[in-house]
């Protein structure tokens, strides 16, 4: 018996060794990225390239060995990042070339936007364009000398060979070029204070919008282009401008865009949520990754549009998108994950772009049976909907009302059928391999999601939306806010990391102001003020009255950057300027108000000349060129009255409220026991208080005339 027991132990030992050996064979290579938490970096942990993470030890190693640095930047959901990995970074010969001659650093752009900004700027100066994957070659001290986006294996090998030879034979030439490039990077963001008296005119805004209108695609929505990006922030500004200036053509353009996107293939009609962008001009074929920040901002945009139009399509789009967020991108602790990949495994177990989302005609016929012919017409399973390799991307070209009339149905009957179709296809799709989830939590993107839920709650009064917003806001307070008042940027697996950037402070302040407005809990407003004061102390450049992207406590890169322009997400400076404008009103703080006005004055000339790149600055400018209303609601029913007021689209108001006596400057000495009064003020001049919300709304819409 004892012999049998020993034999069993020995056999288990060898089985264990064989299992270990199999694992090692499966992962032939392992590099330093295995110690990271970023899903994107971990994707590259078993490349033959000896990848390093960006840290002081790696940078010191490059200097000690006098080697050029490869800085390769991407993100988890990036399709072409995966392609370049497969073609080049998983190739042994390419890896040897990189390992022998370079220190190779992988960067997750979502974790380290500060690094991405600098090297993206360099590549744009060198090539006139940018994108991801971003691949930059730098001197041992980090100064860039060459870069681009996606390279084929042959292009990449050729570039590496030539640059390696150049640096070995003529390092002075490389250093001279790097000096010029760094100077260009620094010059490209040079903003000087505009000391002239701030003067913002509506006529200037109108001229900027006219300039913008030349780029608008009035037929298909979006900008005139072979590819279409949603750009929710710019659409939000155009919507606001159109309402405040009674610009029917611009409002119609925004609605066209929203309808085309909601009906297009860029929107997932089965599971909800929007993909990153479309690769055609009709919103049909998406680049299939789904990003948290896109969906957050689009929820806010469609909610605003619903308040104006009461269009059921907009309401349905918001509800389905939030359902998607909660099902696919929300953790049990209230945090939101970052994205879903564009690629997923097909039936052959190979990664394929869009495999999770596309359909074969035969598959749809088998699933929908007698309903297929109607479904086929509704979702364009025809030449219009065909993509490639016999795959169809579902999209619509008719409204439900028109489709129902054409097919002699009621809209209710059609809605019932569509819901049934979606459930059938969702059940079938859930059996497929899902796209990879990037499960890191980013503070700034979560703040955008808080705002989305707040906006949805205001429009639809679903208490669940308020609960989710508060849960995530408390997650940020409890996990991302440190004792010294600073924020962390990232969170994963119970660990907060990376010092926050100005984008984190800007978006969280904005979100906390929004949370205050649906709760009237001044804790949130006070937290917003505390974060603002921290940002002023640690990020503000006093010479320009603008904010650096990194704090004065952060390790210096080759240069300090400012995020001035608005992109898919508004730039951190424009968000901070808008925040300062609001907080200046709440606290009667002249320093905040003057800083906001000075920031806008500094940017005004550029914003008026390139409105698509400065839309959120123009949003702030609207506050100065038209009446901006402070609405203070004080009394026992303040929360109810506030909720009623938020059922209207009123973009040019600030709401403050309290159910008891408040020390907040805007509410001080306005509480009357057993009464609820609504005070409407412009530039600290107030009308007689009202009790009826409808009267208040009418006054605001009529400009208090």
In SS3 terms, 242-275 reads as HHHCCCHHHHHHHHHHHHHHHHCCCECCCCCCEC
pLDDT band at 192 (very low <50, low <70, confident <90, very high): confident
pLDDT band at 190 (very low <50, low <70, confident <90, very high): low
Write the burial class of residue 27 (CB in 10 Å: 0-12 exposed, 13-18 middle, 19+ buried). exposed
Per-chain mean pLDDT for the chain: 92
Whether the pLDDT of residue 5 is over 80: the answer is no
- What is the pLDDT, as a whole number, of residue 26? 66
Q: Tens digits of per-residue pLDDT, 203-232? A: 999 999 999 999 999 999 999 999 999 999
Whether the pLDDT of residue 673 is over 50: the answer is yes
Round to whole Å and give the CA distance between 627 and 589. 19
Round to whole Å and give the CA distance between 505 and 533. 10
- What is the pLDDT, as a whole number, of residue 12? 40
Round to whole Å and give the CA distance between 294 and 551. 26
Distance of CA 340 to the CA centre of its chain: 13
- What is the pLDDT, as a whole number, of residue 705? 41
Round to whole Å and give the CA distance between 47 and 77. 18
Whether the pLDDT of residue 116 is over 80: the answer is yes
| CATH pick for 629-701 out of 1.10.287, 3.30.70, 3.40.1350, 3.40.30 | 3.40.30
Write the burial class of residue 283 (CB in 10 Å: 0-12 exposed, 13-18 middle, 19+ buried). buried
198 CB contacts (<8 Å, ≥6 apart)?
Answer: 597, 598, 600, 601, 624
- What is the pLDDT, as a whole number, of residue 701? 86
Round to whole Å and give the CA distance between 367 and 383. 20
DSSP-derived 3-state class of residue 553: coil
Q: Tens digits of per-residue pLDDT, 474-528? A: 999 999 999 999 999 999 999 999 999 999 999 999 999 999 999 999 999 999 9
- Segment 391-411 mean pLDDT: 96
Distance of CA 283 to the CA centre of its chain: 19
**Residue 100: φ, ψ to 5°:** -75, -30
- Segment 456-465 mean pLDDT: 98
Round to whole Å and give the CA distance between 563 and 585. 25
pLDDT band at 16 (very low <50, low <70, confident <90, very high): very low
Helix (H) and strand (E) counts in the chain = 26, 23
- Segment 132-142 mean pLDDT: 91
Top pLDDT among 174 and 160 is at 160
208 CB contacts (<8 Å, ≥6 apart)?
Answer: 607, 608, 609, 611, 618
State the pTM of this model: 0.92
Round to whole Å and give the CA distance between 109 and 360. 35
Whether the pLDDT of residue 1 is over 70: the answer is no
DSSP-derived 3-state class of residue 471: helix
- Segment 641-670 mean pLDDT: 93
- Residue 64 tokens read as 């000690």
8 A C-beta contact, residue 46 and residue 27 = yes
- What is the pLDDT, as a whole number, of residue 559? 82
**Strands 102-108 vs 68-74: parallel, antiparallel or unpaired:** parallel
- Residue 325 tokens read as 């967020």
Residues of the chain by 3-state class (helix, strand, coil), percent to 5: 55, 15, 35
DSSP code of residue 687: P
pLDDT band at 194 (very low <50, low <70, confident <90, very high): confident
8 A C-beta contact, residue 400 and residue 415 = yes
Round to whole Å and give the CA distance between 105 and 124. 20
Round to whole Å and give the CA distance between 188 and 122. 10
Count CB neighbours of 396 within 10 A.
Answer: 21
DSSP-derived 3-state class of residue 91: coil
- Percent of the chain topping pLDDT 70: 96
- What is the pLDDT, as a whole number, of residue 363? 97
- Residue 403 tokens read as 């489709």
- Segment 458-475 mean pLDDT: 98
The alpha carbon dihedral of 484, 488, 491, 497 has a sign of negative
Round to whole Å and give the CA distance between 501 and 38. 17
Round to whole Å and give the CA distance between 20 and 178. 47
Count CB neighbours of 333 within 10 A.
Answer: 14
Segments making up each domain of the chain, as ranges:
1-27, 31-188, 202-344+438-625, 357-431, 629-701
- What is the pLDDT, as a whole number, of residue 19? 37
pLDDT band at 189 (very low <50, low <70, confident <90, very high): low
Whether the pLDDT of residue 171 is over 90: the answer is no
Fold of 202-344+438-625: Glycosyltransferase (1.50.10)
Whether the pLDDT of residue 611 is over 80: the answer is yes
Whether the pLDDT of residue 21 is over 60: the answer is no
Q: Which residues of 266-280 are buried (b: 16+ CB within 10 A; e: fewer)?
A: bbbbbbbbbbbbbeb
- What is the pLDDT, as a whole number, of residue 18? 41
**Residue 241: φ, ψ to 5°:** -60, -45
Write the burial class of residue 364 (CB in 10 Å: 0-12 exposed, 13-18 middle, 19+ buried). buried
Half-sphere exposure of 20 (CA within 13 A, CB side): 6
DSSP-derived 3-state class of residue 152: coil
Q: Tens digits of per-residue pLDDT, 589-610? A: 999 999 999 999 999 999 999 9
Count CB neighbours of 534 within 10 A.
Answer: 19
Whether the pLDDT of residue 382 is over 90: the answer is yes
Round to whole Å and give the CA distance between 619 and 338. 27
Whether the pLDDT of residue 704 is over 80: the answer is no
Whether the pLDDT of residue 17 is over 80: the answer is no
Minimal CA–CA distance to 414: which of 396, 401, 427? Answer: 401
Distance of CA 482 to the CA centre of its chain: 24
Asked if the domains at 31-188 and 629-701 fall in one CATH topology, the answer is yes
Whether the pLDDT of residue 6 is over 60: the answer is no
**Residue 102: φ, ψ to 5°:** -140, 160
- Segment 533-544 mean pLDDT: 96
Whether the pLDDT of residue 72 is over 50: the answer is yes
The hierarchical CATH code for the domain 31-188 is 3.40.30.10
Whether the pLDDT of residue 10 is over 60: the answer is no
pLDDT band at 76 (very low <50, low <70, confident <90, very high): confident
8 A C-beta contact, residue 219 and residue 181 = no
Q: Which residue has the tokens 């097909």?
A: 346
Round to whole Å and give the CA distance between 238 and 241. 5
């Amino acid at each position: 018996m004892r012999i049998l027991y020993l034999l069993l132990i020995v056999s288990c030992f060898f089985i264990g060794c064989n299992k270990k050996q199999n694992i090692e064979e499966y992962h032939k290579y392992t590099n330093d990225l295995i110690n990271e938490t970023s899903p994107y970096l971990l994707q590259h942990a078993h490349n033959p390239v000896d990848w390093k993470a960006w840290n002081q030890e790696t940078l010191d190693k490059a200097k000690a060995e006098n080697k050029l640095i490869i800085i390769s930047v991407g993100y988890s959901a990036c399709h072409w990042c995966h392609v370049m990995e497969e073609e080049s970074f998983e190739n042994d010969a390419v890896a040897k070339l990189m390992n022998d001659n370079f220190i190779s650093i992988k960067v997750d752009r979502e974790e380290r936007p500060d690094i991405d900004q600098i090297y993206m700027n360099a590549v744009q100066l060198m090539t006139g364009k940018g994108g991801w994957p971003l691949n930059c070659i730098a001197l041992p001290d980090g100064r860039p000398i060459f870069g681009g986006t996606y390279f084929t294996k042959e292009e990449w090998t050729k570039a590496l060979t030539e640059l390696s030879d150049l640096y070995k034979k003529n390092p002075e030439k490389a250093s001279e070029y790097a000096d010029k490039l760094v100077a260009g990077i620094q010059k490209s963001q040079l903003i000087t204070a505009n000391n002239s008296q701030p003067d913002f005119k509506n006529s200037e805004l109108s001229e900027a919008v006219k300039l913008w209108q030349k780029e608008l695609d009035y037929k298909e929505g979006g900008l005139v282009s072979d590819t279409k990006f949603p750009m929710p922030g710019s659409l939000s500004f155009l919507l606001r401008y159109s309402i405040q200036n009674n610009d029917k053509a611009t409002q119609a353009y925004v609605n066209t865009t929203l309808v085309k996107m909601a009906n297009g293939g860029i929107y997932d009609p089965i599971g909800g949520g929007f993909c990153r962008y479309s690769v055609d001009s009709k919103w049909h074929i998406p680049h299939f990754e789904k990003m948290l920040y896109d969906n957050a901002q689009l929820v806010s945009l469609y909610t605003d549009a619903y308040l104006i139009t009461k269009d059921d399509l907009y309401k349905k789009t918001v509800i389905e998108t939030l359902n998607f967020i909660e099902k696919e991108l929300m953790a049990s602790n209230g945090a939101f994950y970052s994205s879903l990949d564009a690629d997923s495994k097909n039936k052959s177990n190979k990664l394929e772009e869009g495999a999770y989302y596309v359909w074969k005609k035969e598959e749809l016929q088998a699933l929908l049976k007698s309903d297929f012919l109607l479904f086929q017409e509704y979702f364009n399973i025809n030449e219009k909907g065909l993509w490639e390799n016999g795959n169809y991307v579902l999209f619509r070209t008719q409204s439900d009302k028109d489709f129902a009339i054409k097919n002699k149905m009621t809209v209710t009957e059609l809605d019932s059928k569509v819901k049934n179709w979606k459930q059938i296809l969702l059940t079938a799709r859930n059996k497929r391999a899902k796209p990879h989830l990037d499960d890191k939590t980013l503070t700034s993107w979560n703040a955008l999601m808080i705002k989305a839920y707040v906006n949805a709650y205001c429009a639809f009064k679903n208490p669940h939306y308020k609960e989710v917003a508060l849960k995530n806001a408390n997650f940020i307070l409890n996990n991302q806010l440190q004792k010294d008042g600073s924020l962390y940027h990232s969170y994963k697996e119970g660990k907060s990391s990376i010092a926050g950037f100005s984008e984190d402070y800007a978006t969280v302040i904005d979100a906390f102001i929004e949370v205050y407005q649906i709760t009237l809990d001044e804790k949130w407003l006070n937290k917003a003020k505390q974060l603002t004061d921290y940002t002023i102390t640690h990020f503000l450049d006093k010479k320009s009255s603008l904010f650096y992207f990194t704090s004065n406590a952060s390790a210096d890169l080759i240069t300090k950057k400012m995020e001035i322009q608005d992109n898919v997400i508004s730039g951190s400076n424009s968000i901070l300027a808008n925040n300062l404008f609001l907080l200046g009103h709440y606290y009667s703080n002249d320093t905040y108000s003057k800083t906001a006005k000075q920031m806008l004055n500094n940017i005004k000339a550029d914003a008026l000349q390139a409105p698509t790149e400065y839309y959120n600055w123009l949003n702030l400018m609207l506050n100065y060129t038209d009446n901006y209303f402070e609405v203070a609601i004080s009394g026992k029913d303040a929360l109810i009255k506030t909720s009623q007021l938020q059922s209207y689209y009123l973009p040019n108001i600030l709401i403050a409220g309290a159910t008891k006596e408040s020390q907040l400057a805007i509410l001080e000495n306005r509480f009357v026991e057993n009464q609820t009064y609504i005070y409407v003020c412009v530039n600290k001049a107030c009308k007689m208080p009202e009790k009826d919300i409808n009267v208040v709304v009418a006054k605001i819409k009529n400009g208090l005339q």
